[in-house]
Amino acid sequence: MTAVAALDAMLARLCPMFALVGPTGHVLAVGPTLARVLAPREGIGARFLELFEVLRPQSVETMAGLAALEGARLRLRSRTGASHVLKGVVCRLPEDGSLGPVGGVVLNLSFGISVVEAVRDYALTGADFAATDPTTEMLYLLEAKSVAMEESRRLNHRLEGARQAAQEQALTDPLTGLRNRRAFDLALARFRDANQPFALLHVDLDHFKQVNDTHGHAAGDLVLRVAARRMLAVVRVDDVIARVGGDEFVLLFPGMEDAADLDLVARRLISAIEEPVSDGTRCHRVSASIGGTLGRMRAGDDAEAIMAVADRALYAAKEAGRGRFVIATAPPVAFPAAARNDGQGAAMRSR
Amino acid sequence: MNGLINRALDWFVRDTFGEALRRGLVEALSLGEAAFEPLMPCAPDVTERLLAALAERVGRAPEEVLEDLGTYLVSQPRTEAVRRLLRFGGVDFIDFLHSLEDLPDRARLAMPDFALSEIRLHPEMPGLYRIEVGACPLAGVALGPVLVGMLRAMADDYGALVLIGSRGADARCEVIEVRLLDAAFAHGRAFDLGAGPVVR
């Protein structure tokens, strides 16, 4: 075997995408993988620069120009087929002619980052890459990570669903940070089960709808947040304050049995809420109507019955004009389930 | 990584023994869906209990169940991703056998907390290989039997005719023997390197 043939055989194994180019610029030999890339064109015999366009470091028109790029990092584009951009490096053959025609060059090419498309377009297999080439490992890793990413995406999707469900189950009103309806119901049930006396206020903002309709939801949300903060400043630490509707709040005062105390709190709440709310450019004014009741529930009592009493008081307050507090004097002990419908305890005092 | 193993067992049970048996197992062990989340941490003893309960229900030894699991993972469409990832290991079955020692590293590249036992391949004589699988660091699942099932299916995949069997285990490792009768017995299944990941 001649030295040249031996070189070809070694290159074919070590660099399956090599090209041996003679001094005239014609391809003398190509590695097996490069042959697949060039197919159906027969690479051998063609001029290398007709098969590939050199893009970087500069375009090249002649064989001398190609040889002058020895050692540089080349970027080339295939002029045939799928026109992939390849990476390459060129080496001049020795001047003594021992490894091939003097003035010839050896090029080694690779797909670089476009390898994924190239593998698909040329239907390459593991055997098309040199034994030391990490391309197969790269493809493995890419695929393994894609599988893991897809699994991660699915997990995130499931977790998001769970988060939304948990939020619905949660006890906080996200806008105001107050307790929500669910938390209020739980607190009321707790008082009932402990047979603990308490007072209850049902607060409804007056003129809130106008703020919302005229100045938009952002203004409305601001008013709700400020009202919540001001109400919190009026109540005690152990009192429960919840937002139960758009502009509706309920407050529970454990241990409060005196109507005068409740009256005082209600009037403080109204005046706190009536303070103007500034959004930096304008002032919004709202007020509050409040219905309240005092009582105590026993195990088995219907929690909704006491709410119904407070609701009626609130309705009366609204009827009496804005910014009013009405207390419904409830029966001394309990709110049995029937209380909801019979209109009892309706002796109301307007303040 | 036990979440991933549980998921594999879960699919295997569902596809092999049916939804009813699967539901019975999950209810008997009071397992939530989180136990089958591949990316969520899960206690190894869940896998152990799952495997023991499954083996009992189907009246087989746990090792036999694991062998079938290994074959299932390579040969079923639902787990095509596993077959593809394994096929990246070698261009033919012998090449693949030699890549087995890299398997734990490859698994870790894919999922950093995926800790497979060490695997050693010893060519005994032409066509005869002894594989030593380190005693499993994961509670609950021995890798050896799973690998036996996987190797059988991978041999089919490459079109190689082989005899594969367990040669017992000691405290240190399990030993598997692979006798290659014909490396190019059949055509095997196609492996398109660039087909991209399988989307379920």
pLDDT in tens, A11-60: 999 999 999 999 999 999 999 999 999 988 888 999 999 999 999 999 99
Instruction: Indicate yes or no: CB of A147 within 8 angstroms of CB of B198.
Output: yes
Look at chain B and report how many structural domains it folds into. Answer: 2
Task: Among B71, B99, B114, give the residue marking a domain's end.
Answer: B71
Q: How far apart are CA A145 and CA A139, in angstroms?
A: 10
Mean pLDDT of successive 10-residue stretches along chain B, which has 200 residues: 90 95 94 88 89 95 95 93 90 92 90 89 95 77 92 95 91 92 83 73
B191 within some domain: no
Q: How far apart are CA B148 and CA B69, in angstroms?
A: 10
A331 within some domain: yes
Domain that holds residue B23: 2-71
Calculate how close chain A gets to B8, using CA atoms only, in Å. Answer: 13
Look at chain A and report how many structural domains it folds into. Answer: 3
One-letter amino acid of A245: G
Please tell me whether residues A223 and A114 are part of one structural domain: no
Please tell me whether residues A288 and A154 are part of one structural domain: no
CATH number for the domain harbouring residue A29? 3.30.450.260
Please tell me whether residues A86 and A163 are part of one structural domain: no
Please tell me whether residues A39 and A151 are part of one structural domain: no
B190 within some domain: no
Q: Count chain A–chain B contacts defined by CB atoms under 8 A.
A: 70
Give chain B's contact residues with A (Cβ, < 8 Å): 37-40, 81, 84-85, 88-91, 95, 106, 109-111, 191-200
Residue B200 has what pLDDT? 57
Per the rule left: phi > 0, alpha: psi between -120 and 50, beta: everything else, A25 is: left
Distance of CA A240 to the CA centre of its chain: 33
Please tell me whether residues B107 and B44 are part of one structural domain: no
Please tell me whether residues A252 and A330 are part of one structural domain: yes
CA distances from B188 to A296, B161, B162 (A): 80, 10, 13
Buried b vs exposed e over A266-299: b needs ≥16 C-beta within 10 Å? beebbebbbeebeeeeeebebbbbbbbbbbbbee
pLDDT digits (tens, 9 = 90+) for A78-114: 887 777 899 999 999 999 989 989 999 999 999 988 8
Q: How far apart are CA B140 and CA B146, in angstroms?
A: 12
Please tell me whether residues A302 and A165 are part of one structural domain: no
Count of alpha carbons within 13 angstroms of residue B33, beta-carbon side: 4
Please tell me whether residues A52 and A149 are part of one structural domain: no
Please tell me whether residues A207 and A324 are part of one structural domain: yes
Which chain B residues contact residue A139 at CB under 8 A?
Answer: 88, 193-194
Please tell me whether residues A138 and A14 are part of one structural domain: no
pTM score above 0.80: no
B198 within some domain: no
Please tell me whether residues A219 and A103 are part of one structural domain: no
Q: How far apart are CA A238 and CA A235, in angstroms?
A: 8
Calculate how close chain B gets to A146, using CA atoms only, in Å. Answer: 7
Residue A332 has what pLDDT? 40
- Partner residue facing B88 (CB), from A139, A147, A158: A139
Please tell me whether residues A166 and A192 are part of one structural domain: no
Is residue B10 within 8 Å of B24, Cβ to Cβ? Answer: no
Interface test with A, best of B193, B199, B200 (most A CBs within 10 A): B193
- Can you tell me which residue has the tokens 């194994």? A13
Domain that holds residue A236: 181-350
Q: How far apart are CA A277 and CA A48, in angstroms?
A: 79
Percent of chain A whose pLDDT exceeds 90 = 55
Residue A347 has what pLDDT? 47
